[in-house]
Amino acid sequence: MIKGCAFGVGNTLISDTKLVQDSLKDMANWLQRRGIIKQKGLLIATYNKINKSALQPFVRHTFSEEQFFRKTFEELGIKNISSKQVLQKYRQFLINKTKPNNDVIEVFKFLRNRAIKITLLTNERVDRIEAFIQKTALINLLDAVVISEQARVKKPNPAIFVEASKRLEVKCEEMAMFGDNEITDGGAKCLRIKFVLVTAYKNPKWQWKKDLAIQPDYVIRKIKKKEMEKCLEFLAKF
């Protein structure tokens, strides 16, 4: 029986792919209006290339890093604005575009009514997740939040799943991990946590780790009540 559910954030509860591209367009428009760039498409393409190539630990591909903008500006010869200022503006655009999702709120209320504990379990920065929780009205629907930057360990390292289990006070074998990534989220299975693949926002291009993909125990399209009911009924058979 499932007593605790852990949810990834990016491309699980929200489409980070769309969020990033929309925020980059706003960023490019902002720079163009100030006469800093002429070709918006070139800026976005260069930024995406640099973001994709960043493989070092603890970089944040959605919330971005100053180095992404610094390297983009260096490649394009942009010198009349600081990468730190642009990063702050980009993050502001991204946070402002984050909105409540009624389907997710309904699912979390449904789980709480069934006495199933809930945590976010994410490879992200603390400030992005704190803003996400506030902007999406999830603050009173969570029992715990586990963020890689705070925990100093990332999925699929087993330690971060153990941390989630401890904070929820639920045994690993009584938990389910909901995520879009068969490598990072699928790592939960090594601790007998059930892995549920969420496909609606899944982006194969956003796979920075090259490890072996893990077969999910169940697949759902989106975090919606009807799909969650069927999922929990199936997982109860294990």
β-sheet bridge partners, residue 69: none
Pairing status of strand 194-198 against strand 175-179: parallel
pLDDT at 75 over 70: yes
Q: What is the tens place of the pLDDT at every residue in 160-216?
A: 999 999 999 999 999 999 999 999 999 999 999 999 999 999 987 766 566 678 999
Task: Give the DSSP H or E segment for 112.
Answer: helix 102-113
Task: Catalogue the E-assigned strands of the chain.
Answer: 4-7, 117-122, 144-147, 175-179, 194-198, 218-220
- DSSP-H helix ranges across 77-202: 83-96, 102-113, 126-135, 148-151, 158-168
The pLDDT assigned to 179 comes to: 97
pLDDT at 55 over 80: no
Mean pLDDT value across the chain: 93
Q: What's the CA gap between 3 and 114, in Å, rounded?
A: 9
Residue type, 72: T
**Residue 38 tokens, joined:** 């002429």
Q: Which band of pLDDT confidence, cut at 50, 70 and 90, is reported for residue 52? A: confident
pLDDT at 56 over 90: no
Q: How many CB atoms lie within 10 A of CB 4?
A: 24
The pLDDT assigned to 208 comes to: 54
End-to-end Cα separation, the chain, in angstroms: 8
Q: What's the CA gap between 138 and 98, in Å, rounded?
A: 12
